[in-house]
Amino acid sequence: MFISSRGAVPVTRSTSLYLLSLAALVTAAPAHAHPDSGPLLCEGPELTQHANIAGVEPALPGTYRCSEDGITITLRLDANGRFEQHMHANERLFEREDGSRGTETSLSGRWRVENGTLHLFEQPARAPRISLVEARRDPAVELRVEIRTPDGTAARGLFIGEGEHVNVRSSLDDGLLLTPKGVDWEPGKRWIVREGDELRLAAFDVAASGPNSFQYVYEPSEVEPFHQQGLIAGEYGEIIVVPLGISGAVLQRIDNPK
């Protein structure tokens, strides 16, 4: 099992809540946990029993934790609306932005509760900027898109989407998307999209006889946006289910709300 350091799925709640049949929970654009895809971490029978009770109170500021199968997740909700979440594993399970894997990952930002759903999110204050530096015809490739920051490092947190709904997506490898000569491809519009909130930054058209090599400079926001959704359960909101990989984890409050 490998777990991305970001990501999410929506949470659903009914009057009778069963952890093993949740439709979705906590998104790298909203992230949600997918309990139907596998068992939830820390879903012991006592927690399942408590989680069958629809919470009558929202989650209170405090610390929530799950530790099982070599993975420990700690979520702290502060009274000022900020949160910190730390995950630690005995193996290198967490995928980093550079493609490597590590034993720890962290996330911080803001939190709020709406209708029994816990939202963990961050929204930058400064809009990103992207500028086209060069567009030319390169007979040696089918398509080449290079995106760098002003200091020359590879841009991260972006993907190239095809079509009006960008439902065909291509990731960048060290800031570069390269389709070699002779590989099948479809002409048409492409979008440069920020992963965290799927913000469309720029568009370009690729035709059989037009420019097929593009170079951009990207100035990211001060923070990368994200939005994760978790489920609040228990009689007093003492249980929170958050996303973990394609499933989720059941966190129980470990401090006294009083």
Determine, yes or no, domain membership for 258: no
Are 26 and 116 found together in one domain? yes
- Together in a domain, 105 and 14: yes
**Chain-wide mean pLDDT for the chain?**
81
Q: What is the pLDDT of residue 35?
A: 42
| CATH number, domain containing residue 150 | 2.60.40
pLDDT score for 29: 37
pLDDT > 90: percent of the chain: 55
What DSSP assignment string belongs to 215-226?
Answer: EEEEE--SS--E
Task: Judge if 39 and 89 occupy the same domain.
Answer: yes
The answer to whether residue 130 scores a pLDDT higher than 80 is yes
Q: What is the CATH number of the domain that holds 96?
A: 2.40.128.300
Q: Are residues 229 and 117 in the same domain?
A: yes
Q: Where are the beta strands (DSSP E) in 26-167?
A: 31-32, 62-68, 71-77, 82-89, 94-95, 101-102, 104-114, 117-122, 129-136, 141-148, 158-162
The larger pLDDT score, comparing residue 18 to residue 62, is at 62
Contact (Cβ atoms closer than 8 angstroms) between residue 33 and residue 10: no
Please tell me the distance from the alpha carbon of residue 14 to that of residue 80, in angstroms, as a whole number: 29
pTM of the model: 0.71
Separation in Å, CA 193 to CA 122, 175, 200, 220, 254: 17, 13, 4, 12, 39
194 and 76 housed in the same domain: no
Question: Average pLDDT for residues 132-159, to the nearest whole number?
Answer: 96
Tokens of 65: 């934790």
Structure tokens at 214: 């593009």
**Residue 95: what pLDDT?**
79
What is the number of structural domains in the chain?
A: 2
Residues 118 and 194 in one domain: no
Task: Answer for the pair 139, 39: CB distance below 8 angstroms, yes or no.
Answer: no
Q: Which domain holds residue 104?
A: 3-123+225-253
